[in-house]
Amino acid sequence: MRTLTVTLSPSPPSAATPIAAVLSADGVAVSRQLEVPLSLLPETADVEVVAVIPATRLSWHTLELPRGTLDKKMFQEANGARLRTVLEGLLEDRLLDDPSQLHFAIAPGARTGAPLWVAVCDRAWLQGWLAVLEQSGRPAMRIVPEVAPVEREDTPAAVHLHFVGNPSLAQLIHSGPQGVCVLPWGSAALALLAGTTPAVVWAEPAVAELAETHFEGRVAVQTSAQRALAAAQSAWDLAQFDSSASRGARTRKRVSGFFASLLQAPCWRPARWAMAALVIVNLVGIQTWNWKEQSALATKRAALREILTSTFPDVRVVVDAPAQMARAVADLQRQTGTATGADLETMLLQFFTMSAAAATPTALEFVGGELKLKGLNPEAVARARIPTKLQGMGYAAQMDGDTLSLKQERRP
């Protein structure tokens, strides 16, 4: 997915402040690097915006949280406020500023009963930059540190070094199991490195030669843009507690960005072709199945027409074979004097068989194949379930007051 990695300026937030940004097509390789005001940054309709907090703006502290402090909803409502209160109490003696003026973020995968890292920065500064990004139409979906401490569990003795700046104002970012610190290159930095064998040494091009004089053969050139992209790939997300209030909006933007990338990004082209092929195959399959069903239905209709015309040669035109056959059978029964289900005698026989003398009518009316039995006791009819039983015999039976209407249903 395309990413826009923005490194927040240590200066106070302002839309006019030039800001370092890196545009990447895949989140790994640098596509474009620029340093311009926010209004001149690329559009972010289908881009994930990641805000990077400079190492000089963060302090790092280790602590152990009491059991029961963390849960799945630790950053929501009362749980988030309770966890922040716990962090303020545990870190109060280590901080120079009032804890209420600071922003806290705990390490990913944190658990109680084990040491964990807590990142701390100025709350007003961070919220100011997030607001400026939001107002410019580029809300940050994630907030990550420029450099994070090395985890003790993975590499207990590892130290990562970053040489940044220029030869006249070179700085050293030291990252290890003890945290992250930024020092100007000089005696203090040399004293920190005394007896240290770093696992990785990165240097910006301007200070690569300076780094080589102390770590010959072990220096890898890394630009500030590459360092920002590497930070964006970490598991950290500093958008916690009060800074997580807009996480829902960021999540919605991330989802919309993902779908936009899915529809347009070149890396998703094979998936789009596969999806299109799957849809086409399904449409062809549905159409084939529909054709088979239509063919089977046409065969059955032709068989019905053949039965009708062979049984009743007088029928010349077939419109509705089942209905025409039912009428032809009824006419044949009348001609031969055979009783049918629509005759008065048959309907009365069915009624008295079902009622078992539980209901006796006082009057009869038979018109157009419909029999009305009047003067019945509605309660007796209901107890005997006469309408239900007659419906099971193929009659439409309906009770209206003391009159039961009975008529044979036409069924194919």
Q: In this predicted structure, what is the pLDDT of residue 373?
A: 84
Point out the least confidently predicted range of 144-153, 203-212, 328-337, 371-380.
328-337
pLDDT at 125: 94
Instruction: Mention every residue, 6+ apart, whose C-beta is less than 8 A from residue 49.
Output: 3, 4, 6, 133, 138, 139, 140, 141
Q: For the ranges 78-92, 197-211, 236-250, 291-305, which has the lowest average pLDDT?
A: 236-250
Residue 376 has pLDDT above 90, yes or no: no
Of the spans 27-36, 118-127, 344-353, 369-378, which averages the highest pLDDT?
118-127
Confidence of residue 409 (pLDDT cuts 50, 70, 90): confident
Question: Residue 162 has which token pair?
Answer: 């970053």
Neighbours of 301 (CB within 10 A): 12
Give the mean pLDDT of 198-210. Answer: 91
pLDDT reported for residue 256: 63
The predicted model scores a pTM of 0.61
Better-predicted residue by pLDDT, 211 or 369? 211
Give me the percent of the chain exceeding a pLDDT of 70.
87
Looking at 110-114, 226-230, 342-346, which range is the least confident one?
Answer: 342-346
Return the structure tokens found at 343.
């005759």
**Is pLDDT at 252 greater than 70 in this prediction?**
no
pLDDT tens track for 298-310 = 898 888 888 878 8
Q: Residue 157 — pLDDT band, cuts 50, 70, 90?
A: low
Q: Tell me, what's the pLDDT at 245?
A: 45
Predicted pLDDT at 385: 80
Q: How far is CA 325 from CA 182, 270, 312, 412, in A?
A: 97, 58, 8, 9
Least confident of 74-78, 169-173, 192-196: 74-78
354/16 Cα distance (integer angstroms):
93
d(CA 96, CA 120): 11
Could you report the per-residue pLDDT of 33-56, keeping only the tens digit for each? 999 998 888 776 678 899 999 999
pLDDT value at 154 more than 60: no
